[in-house]
Structure 1
Amino acid sequence: MQLIEESIPMNALNSEIILHNYPQSPVAEKARVALGIKGLSWWSVDIPRLAPKPMLTKLTGGYRRTPVMQIGADIYCDSQCIIRELERRYPSPSFFPSSDGGLMWCLSRWTDGPMFDIAVKLVLGAAGDALPKDFAEDRGRLYLGSDWSEGLKAANAALPHLAAQFRTALSWANDQLSDNRDFLLGQAPAAIDAQLYHIVWFIRGRWDRGPVFLSEFIQIERWEQNVAEIGHGMMTEMSPEDAILRARDCEPITAPAVDPFDPQGLIPGMQVTVSPDLDGGEQPVHGEVVFATSDTISLLRQDPDVGNIGVHFPRAGYRVDILG
């Protein structure tokens, strides 16, 4: 895909896109495809697959999931925030080429939630005892609960059922593509293409039966190739140390704002913690509310080596607890 001219000068420290990720991460692949749809230049910081991730958590305040996007001293956690911020800064080409943007966000809660959960259980359950113990414990706790070893056994025993559930979901997407459209919404790629593609990419590459399983879905395989050809934009490697220096040399750009309809009554200056709804053993991130809307909460926190940092989370799928 031909790269477009970005609307923000990329030589400014507070506009350089830095993606903290690792190559095997399916959710990072979603973000990489999103960057490709926009045709953007970006820096890639390689992070460990397993905790501890001290260079990342210095920026996030404890959040360790993959990927995280950094622009200057603003840190965007979860692909929801990443896609929203990229659309805000680089509106063309749009992630929402139709008038159904709200519906696409609703659909993404299915692809990123139940559908991805089934895919993870298929991959982990099929691998079984072949998984390295530390990886099985980390991902098992994240996706299967605190009793992850029993959850892993249950996933292995339920593989035919899980495959049947996943097959139903793929058949719907296959039908959507049956008119030979290039992408899910038509001829232009959209956020929902990245949000579904990363699951198919994961199944194909990480489940030993993935390629055979997917061969039933002719339209999905054609669409999958179209998405792959978009690419990832223009990527350059960056060290974690340089990413921290970028943050240290910038200030967060988010301005305080009040949402009078916020159900929790969140206002700027409140001390809160934010953590994923799904307990994976992560440390809640503590900070001061800058603003909170229906879809995003932004915190201000300080690090002795970095200074002021803005950390942004989605509201969907995350819990906010008011301190004091």
Structure 2
Amino acid sequence: MTATDLVLHHYPRSPFAEKVRVAFGLKGLSWRSVIQPRMAPKPELVALTGGYRRIPVLQIGADVYCDTRRILAWMDRVAALGHGTVEELSPEQALDIARLCQPMATSASPHNDIADDQGLPFKEGVMVSVMPTDWGFDPVIGALVSAGHDSIALRREDPDVGATVVHFPRAGFAIARL
């Protein structure tokens, strides 16, 4: 297992995860599968995401991409990763990968070009919460890495996993200063 392995947290009957699985197949990508329960509790997933429990979630080392839209946008940028087949992993093995890796997302080039309700820009490092606006209103809390018109990234620490950066699409998610 390496820090660049694609690890998809999903369950077989999820139509949202099916979009990602089909995209992986169309692009001929190698990926690893972690089957998650359809319904909460999902303690291993929550350790990676900080509370986000919807499926699918894509893990690359200690970087975690939430929501089908964010995963497919990421795939469009890295379409030339290679070919291969799926390999099954346990949730514990996925947590081990995150524990052994450092997040790839850094503050070297943050793009923080959105503002809060008072018109104040979000600054790197400020504590924020992110949560879906349609259902599953479980906030994820962390230090802002970047917030743009199409994505939000938070750095968080978990006692079981260590540092992760959790990536969300901007559409369909609310960000709030704590």
TM-score normalised to the size of structure 2?
0.91
Please, what is the CA RMSD of the aligned residues? 1.6
1:305 positional shift: 1.4
Unmatched runs of 5 consecutive residues or more in structure 1: 1-10, 94-232
Q: Is the 1:262–1:293 Cα contact (8 Å) retained in structure 2?
A: yes
1:263 aligned onto 2:96? no
Measure, in 1, the Cα distance between the counterparts of 2:101 and 2:149.
Answer: 27
Q: Aligned runs of 1:37-186 on 2, under 5 Å? A: 37-91=26-80
Contact 1:21 1:66 in 2 (8 A): yes
**1:60–1:75: 8 Å Cα contact kept in structure 2?**
yes
Compared with structure 1, are the counterparts of its residues 242 and 92 closer, same or farther at alpha carbon in structure 2 (3 Å cutoff)? closer
For residues 67 and 113 of structure 2, the distance between their equivalents in structure 1, rounded to whole angstroms, comes to 24
Structure 2: runs of 5+ lacking an equivalent: none
Percent identity, aligned pairs only, is: 48
Residue 283 of structure 1 aligns with which residue?
138
**1:79-135 C-alpha deviation (Å, 9 max, x unpaired):** 111112222222589xxxxxxxxxxxxxxxxxxxxxxxxxxxxxxxxxxxxxxxxxx
Structure 1 residues 92, 262: CA separation in 2 closer, same or farther (over 3 Å shift)? same
Separation in 2, partners of 1:240, 1:259: 32
Q: 2:103 aligns with which of 252, 257, 263?
A: 252
Structure 1 length-normalised TM: 0.51
Equivalent residue, structure 1, for 2:175:
320
Determine helix, strand or coil for the equivalent of 2:65: strand
User: Partner residue of 1:298?
Assistant: 153
Q: Is the 8 A contact 2:29 2:81 kept in 1?
A: no
**Which deviations, in whole Å up to 9, do the C-alpha atoms of 1:172-218 show, x marking residues without a partner?**
xxxxxxxxxxxxxxxxxxxxxxxxxxxxxxxxxxxxxxxxxxxxxxx
Greater per-residue helix proportion: 1
The structure with the greater share of residues assigned to strand is 2
**Mapped pair 1:274 → 2:138:** no
Name the residue aligned to 1:20: 9
Structure 1 stretches of at least 4 aligned residues deviating more than 6 Å after TM superposition? none
Q: Which has the larger radius of gyration?
A: 1
Q: Do 1:259 and 1:267's aligned partners in 2 also have CA atoms closer than 8 Å?
A: no
In the alignment, structure 1 residue 234 sits paired with structure 2 residue 90: no
